[in-house]
Amino acid sequence: MAKYQDYSNGIEPTWCKGCGDFSVLRSLQVAAAELEIPRENLMVVSGIGCSGRISGYMDTYSFHGVHGRVLPIAQGIKLANNDLTVIAAGGDGDGFAIGAGHFIHGTKRNVNMTYIVMNNQIYGLTKGHTSPVSDQGFKTPSTPKGSEDLPLQPGLMSLAAGATFLAQGFSGYQEELIEVIKKGIEHKGFSFINIFSPCITFNKTNTYQWFRKHLTSVSEEEEYNQGDYQGAMKKLLETKGLVTGVLYENKDREKKDEISIKESPMALEREEFQKLFARL
Amino acid sequence: MNREIQVLIGGTQGDGILATGIYYLQVLSRMGYHVYGKRHFTSRIKGGNSAIIAYGSVDKKGCPKDDMDIVMALDEDTMEIYTKKLRKRGLLLYDEALELKVDEEFIKGMEIEIISLPITKVVKDKGNMIMKNVCSLGFLTRVTDIEPHYVEAVIVEAFKDKGEKIVEKNKKVLQGAVDYNFTSLKGVNYLIEPVTRKYRGPVIVGNDLIGLGAVMAGCRFMAAYPITPASEVMQYLSEHLPRYGGKVVQTEDELAAINMIIGSSYAGVRSITATSGPGISLMMEGLGLASMAEVPIVVVDAQRKGPSTGLPTKHEQSDLNTLYYGGHGEFPRIILAPATIEDCFYDTIEAFNLAEQYQCPVIIMSDALRSLSYENIEELDFDQITINRGKIMMEEDLEDGTDSFSRYRNTEDHISKRVFPGMKHGFHHTTGLEHGEYGFPIRPKDDQRGLTEKRMNKLEPLEHKKGIRMFQEKANRILFLGYGSTFGVLQQGVKKMDRVVDYGAIKQIKPLPTVQLKKLLEHYDTVVIVENNYTGQLRKIIQAEIGFHHKLDSLLSYNGDGFLIEEIKDKIKELI
């Protein structure tokens, strides 16, 4: 049996004490251990921001890219080597601001991988600027009079883009978080997991207490149908997105056993070259 | 007998002008001629004037002539724009459905012959308007006295996949043109006779050969965003890669394209993207990441004219500074510039080898003319294809008791060994942050100077390479150096001036072949860098890196069309 510690490289995270990201890191490690993913086959790709550091704490293969580009890099890796379990992770700025186009198109492309957004509704690493999912009126040094616009709604965006798996989690509910991450990894397609991961230093509004008060969960709703697209939309609208659990899964668009590009031979025989030449 | 013929076919975009031109090139190619086709087109699908110059010559030229033997006008714009490109006693052909619009004085002075042809009429009588291209071809080959069987062979080849019926319909249209009684043709002699040439290569564009080169180099993944004039690379690979287990992804933008190939290459698959200037601007951050993380990638830049959106269908070589210096911070990259269409093939293979040997981005710097001009290529040599993947660890070599792998360990040549995810005991981190030998971000007390030096010094061996292809005579004191598509026209200009100057092509742009360049600059009195940009970008780079300011001169053109042979000749005359 694998232990979650096997997936930790022991490096002490740069995160503030109490940061929600610790729980995401631990949950990912537990999920990997419970699914017994061979460490060499676990590929964690991350973006830039506090959350982006997560790949550097995994004792697996890890790639810390540039701001906003976590999804293209992760998709390239997965398409090259289908044996890998690919986890992309980043923050809400990384995924819904600078990388928003990649989020929409990554969802549409439905490559078999998992995308975890550690959503704290603020730019922690730049010391507290507003994010595309900050609430209207949210005051930060870049929005001293309060954020003017309505926040983006990642759950609805992903459904609109053709998501085949949508889940949300909360750093404060670790057991459920582990479960949704496991289900996301097991889903054969692009699984998007939006995790409320509070920033205890700069976001004094969306705190652990605030989430505990406002969040509901579909994990406890027996009659909730995860295959119901409109139901998932409705749930997100009713709860203003403040809901956890697996909200939607479409198994009809599952990716069948795809081959790894990596396995295809590089060198071609003379006859093959002549054939290609004749087709010019 | 004429040893060469050059025709400009022009019409409204959507008229099948390009097809007529390509068919004509294929006919000439079948007759044993070397061909060159140069496009003039706009960013419109229908409407707007479009033209192609189709050139056939007994010797390989690598660029068109400056003037036309024949102009074939399928719209009035063509008559107005291109008639003045005709040589003395040249021939203007035009569809009789059009109103003749020419400068009478020019026609008289140049003794231009004018013939109207019932192109639209024959198409309507014998087929339908979609066959206008075949009809134009029929008239053109008839005027140039080409035996019909060459033309028929090309038509059969072009339409055979569409079925017997379509082939027959087109043959009927063709016959209509061939049977037309040219009473007015008397005295016109544009006779083209077949010449003996053992080898007859396919008529293709440079971008096709970049695609073929990639396949043969073992590239199995491409991510790209469509853009003129680079899209043909993507089209070629989309068609052929799946057969070899590969894949092409059309991404949401160029940012995704370059980052996706960084991912696939990191995972062990040779990968490419192709774009033009606007895409290169977006790819700068990706070039920096690939260089910092030492991930090999190949990026094609088919340069087009101007900053911003510029003139998308026009030619220029003005991305050089951006490719050479672009991106924040300092990072190594290699730039190759294919000078001939065959170079597009060999240089692409070389690009993949260099990328893996030196673990950095390699840019294939093409340009609109190099990428989109048609030629019937020389035979490609299978035996010259080699795949060299550089320093790669095998999984079985990793079992030395430690789990972590020092992916970025500095070595004598500054190049570290690579492993791929999925390998046991190869664990390391990869990041765009400054990092130590296991890939983890460095701490403030760590040596930051050495890490920069490891990266920046690894390309030094390439400075000793013979990166300039030289054509020398013993006594010459002046050297002209071109790169990319300027090489072809430079070569013709020099030959027309009886080689009173030497010439060559700079194939390796970065790192500059400093050893060879220095020797050349010491040897010659004057070295002229021939390039299609306003500021003389490569000349300035050479001056900055090697010196010899007083010996270096520029020949520049930035009209979007490349040089005329005459412009090369004028510069030579000015200097000798």
Interchain CB contact of B278 with A (< 8 Å): no
CATH code for position B135: 3.40.920.10
pLDDT at A169: 98
* Whole-number pLDDT of residue B127: 85
Q: Is 0.90 topped by the overall pTM? A: yes
Does residue B224 fall inside a structural domain?
yes
User: Beta-strand (E) ranges in B29-143?
Assistant: 34-40, 49-57, 68-73, 86-95, 113-117
- Report CA Rg, chain B: 26
Q: B293 and B366: one domain? A: yes
Same domain, B380 and B417: no
Q: Which of residues 183-212 of A touch B (CB under 8 A)?
A: none
Q: Give which of B92, B126, B89 is closest to B109, Cα–Cα.
A: B89
Nearest CA in chain B to A81: B267
Per-domain residue ranges of chain A: 4-278
What is the chain B residue with the closest CA to A278?
A: B202
The verdict on residue B538 lying in a domain is: yes
ipTM summary value: 0.98
Closest Cβ–Cβ partner in A41, A66, A264 for B220: A264
Alpha carbon of B202: minimum distance to chain A alpha carbons (Å): 6
Which of B424, B458, B492 delimits the end of a domain? B458
The long-range contacts involving B340-343, CB below 8 angstroms and separated by at least 24 positions, are B340/B62, B340/B487, B340/B488, B340/B505, B341/B62, B341/B204, B341/B205, B341/B206, B341/B209, B341/B370, B341/B373, B341/B375, B341/B377, B342/B209, B342/B377, B342/B378, B342/B380, B343/B507
Chain B residues 348-387 with a CB less than 8 Å from chain A: 377, 380, 382, 385, 387
Kindly report the CATH number assigned to the domain that includes residue B363: 3.40.50.970
- Based on the fold, state whether residues B255 and B372 are members of the same structural domain: yes
Q: What is the pLDDT of residue B187?
A: 52
Separation of alpha carbons B218 and B390, rounded Å = 14
Is the domain of B97 the same as that of B111?
A: yes
Distances (CA, A) of B450 to A26, B223, B408, B417, B457: 35, 34, 12, 18, 10
My answer on whether B302 and B176 are in the same domain is no
Q: For residue B472, give its domain range.
A: 463-575
Considering the domain architecture, whether residues B44 and B143 belong to the same structural domain is answered as yes
Write down which residue in B458, B477, B506 finishes a domain. B458
Q: Which two tokens stand for residue B19?
A: 């097809």
Pick the residue from chain B with its C-alpha nearest to A111. Answer: B249
Hey, are the CB atoms on A76 and B265 less than 8 Å from each other? yes
In the predicted model, is pLDDT for residue A218 greater than 80? yes
Predicted pLDDT at B166: 94
- Looking at the partner chain, which of B267, B427, B428 has a beta carbon nearest the beta carbon of A77? B267
Residue B192 maps to a domain: no
Residue B522 belongs to domain with CATH number: 3.40.50.920
Q: Are strands B221-224 and B247-250 parallel, antiparallel or unpaired?
A: parallel
Which three-class secondary structure state does DSSP give residue B225? Answer: coil
Same domain, B31 and B178: yes
Given a contact cutoff of 8 angstroms between Cβ atoms, the answer to whether A229 and A256 are in contact is: no
Using DSSP, state whether B172 is helix, strand or coil.
Answer: helix
Tell me how many domains chain B contains.
4
Statement to judge: residues B127 and B213 lie in one domain: no
What band does A137 get if pLDDT is binned at 50, 70 and 90? very high
pLDDT of residue B403: 86
> What φ, ψ does residue B556 adopt, rounded to 5°?
-120, 150
Same domain, B165 and B311: no
Shared domain check, B69 and B104:
yes
Indicate whether B510 belongs to any domain.
Answer: yes
Question: Does B367 lie in the same domain as B252?
Answer: yes
Residue of B nearest to A70 (CA): B259
Q: Are residues B12 and B152 in the same domain?
A: yes
Residue B34, classed as helix, strand or coil, is strand
Q: What is the dihedral of CA B534, B539, B542, B545, to 10 degrees?
A: -50
Give pLDDT tens digits along chain B (576 positions).
678 999 999 999 878 899 999 999 999 999 999 999 999 887 777 778 999 999 999 999 999 999 999 999 999 999 999 999 999 999 999 999 999 999 999 999 999 999 999 999 999 998 888 999 999 999 999 888 888 999 999 999 999 999 999 999 999 999 999 888 776 665 556 767 788 777 788 999 999 999 999 999 999 999 999 999 999 999 999 999 999 999 999 999 999 999 999 999 999 999 999 999 999 999 999 999 999 999 999 999 999 999 999 999 999 999 999 999 999 999 999 999 999 999 999 999 999 999 999 999 999 999 999 999 999 999 999 999 999 999 999 988 887 778 899 999 999 999 999 999 999 999 999 999 999 999 999 988 888 888 899 999 999 999 999 999 999 988 999 999 999 999 999 999 999 999 999 999 999 999 999 999 999 999 999 999 999 999 999 999 999 999 999 999 999 999 999 999 999 999 999 999
Q: Is domain A4-278 classified as CATH 3.40.50.970? A: yes
